[in-house]
Amino acid sequence: MAIFKPSIPGTAQHFLECDTEDCETNCEFYCNSCHQRMCNQCRNQHLKGAENKNHHVVLYQQRKRRLPVEKCKIHQTKKINILCVECNIPLCSKCTTVQDHRGHKFVGLETIYAEKFTLCQERIYKIHEYFLPTSQDLQREIKRDETEIKKIMESIRTSMKVEAESLKNTVDKVLAENTEILNKIEYTMNEKLKNQGQMFTDYMNYLNDLVKKFQGFLSSTELTILIPEISEENLKIRNIPETSKPAIPVFTAGQYSKDDVSKLFGKISVKEAREEMRKIKPMEGFPSSASAKSTRKQSEQDRYMKSDVTKTISLSSCVTKVREFNLLGVCSACHISLDQSGRLWVSDYSGNLVQTDREGNQLQRVRTSGGHGYHTVTEEGDLIFTDQTNKLIKRIEMNNKISTFFTTGDWKPVSIYFSHINGDILVGMINYGKEEAKVARYNKAGTETQNIQRDDKGQKLFSEPRCITENINGDICISDYPKEAVVVVNKSGQHRFSYTGQESSIWPYGICTDILGHILVCDGFSNRVHLLDQDGQFLSYLLSKQQRVESPRSVCADDDNNVYVGQLTNTVKVFKYLQ
């Protein structure tokens, strides 16, 4: 499900209070069974009660929406709590026995209500986050075009006047005629741009009306009207109008004489100029209704192709060394990022970051604030890395230009990973003042969309998210050195498992996953690389002293199923373990 921001309530409130009588503590949790807000202390007391031991208490952000109370119009002592799937009508439990609904399929209305509520919130979020901002950007572009056209027109007028001065009085008539032509073209263009601007004003009014309509759905408690009304048809959002940029006229100066002033003066025309359609930025994360079907079809094909590939790949009976190389510019290979072209970015603890080819030949070098898993490569080939000192995320683009991507506020970013599933950016962070650690998800624009910090019992998940990776099922895998564990949460941020070693403790460093969903993690305690399945079950020690791997600190896999292992020295070794 897409991650979206909740709509802002109409009345300001600085915090939600616990529902327990005489308790004024901030609300942190919510009981989905009895629909009560709770602080941490009241939650513990609540679950101690024998009658409450099976209650489902979650973080407040994960609460279920409470079904509005509405009496059945036929059986007035009964509450509406069931939906007839065939009739799409909310009913009470007694209505299911009447003749009109016999043999029909029924589902709990609370689940349907939550889905409809979520649909409305998603649409409101789409409008505020995409449709309105994109329309405003296009309207600003139209204004800029108006200014630019005015400048161009003035430039053309100046050119014509210069020509006219050299032709003196004989060119006055031609000048007047061409000026009139130009004025007509300018008038036509301005009229077109004004119409385009008005078109987007009308469209944004339409979007604001939609927001009011959807918010009306959210505030309604008449389920018999609300449920049928909230349908895909009623929730459709009209596409952003397409507009074209004006074709710019060009003044062509001519060679003139007294006998042929009109011919030699030149002319203004737009016959050969073609209008360029304005570009509407894609709606990232929200497939349009027109493309949703094709997107689903494509993803099904991708899954099918991937499943065919994985069926032919398995663990080899032995690990084979492919090659090794030493790196210049770093004293150790503590973290490796690999791009699609096969180039590597390798860093040491001291903040030296070098780019090399597959043979270890240095291509460029950058000084950073250092760290462990603090850099990653995007699908476009840009390198993203953390600046822990200034609490920034920076980007090195293909042209080697370094720029600030976004800031992390009071949190110190210590690790980062680019998702090849959806293009999101996962950042591991620490707030030393609060003694807290978290993993945050950012979209391509650098806006935070998810915050993973505690499990469903309110316990801290991380101490120091040193390195991050993502598995093929969307799981987020974190090596947490102080906790001596690999912590894995699902894409929703719920804790799945923690791996704490096999024969003894584990000091986890670099971590990666492969095409089969295996998790590979470097262990500084045993100086081996552990191989786990995607559910955290230990499979084997993949690499150890037997393969002459000394103090492994970083690991990553390429598209050819080779695994790169960086060591505490400046040596990188490449192995093949899949066949």
Domain ranges of the chain: 15-64, 110-287, 367-578
Can you tell me the mean pLDDT for 458-482? 92
Q: Which of 7-16, 271-280, 509-518 has the lowest mean pLDDT?
A: 7-16
Q: What is the pLDDT of residues 342-385, one digit of tens each?
A: 789 999 888 889 998 877 888 888 888 888 889 999 888 889 99
Q: Nearest to residue 534, comparing CAs of 512, 562, 558?
A: 512
287, pLDDT greater than 60: no
169, pLDDT greater than 70: no
Q: What is the pLDDT of residue 65?
A: 74
Residue showing tokens 């009241």: 42
Q: Are 291 and 239 in contact (CB under 8 A)?
A: no
Can you tell me the mean pLDDT for 235-255? 83
Q: Which of 99-108, 127-136, 263-272, 482-491 has the lowest mean pLDDT?
A: 263-272
Q: What is the rounded CA–CA span in Å between residue 472 and residue 495?
A: 17
Strand partners, 213: none
Relative to beta strand 465-470, strand 476-480 is antiparallel
Compute CA distances 316 → 216, 481, 540, 542, whole Å: 60, 29, 12, 11
418, pLDDT greater than 90: yes
Q: What is the pLDDT of residue 217?
A: 80
Q: What is the largest CA-CA distance in the chain?
A: 109
Q: What is the pLDDT of residue 478?
A: 96
Using pLDDT thresholds of 50, 70 and 90, give the confidence band for residue 259.
low
pTM equals: 0.49
Higher pLDDT, 152 or 290: 152
Q: What is the pLDDT of residues 394-415, one digit of tens each?
A: 998 767 788 899 999 999 999 9
Q: What is the pLDDT of residues 316-335, one digit of tens each?
A: 667 888 888 888 888 889 99
Q: What is the pLDDT of residue 73?
A: 86
| DSSP state letters, 465-532 | EEEEEE-TTS-EEEEETTTTEEEEE-TTS-EEEEE--SSS---EEEEEE-TT--EEEEETTTTEEEEE
Please tell me the CATH code under which domain 367-578 is placed.
Answer: 2.120.10.30
Higher pLDDT, 66 or 186: 186
Return the exposure string of 29-54: e unless at least 16 CB atoms fall within 10 Å of the residue's CB, then b. bbbbeeebbbbeebbeebbeeeeeee
339, pLDDT greater than 70: yes
Q: What is the pLDDT of residue 471?
A: 92
Q: Nearest to residue 246, comparing CAs of 202, 190, 201?
A: 190
Residue 315 neighbours by CB distance under 10 Å: 16
Q: What is the rounded CA–CA span in Å between residue 507 and residue 527?
A: 9
What percentage of the chain reaches a pLDDT higher than 70? 85
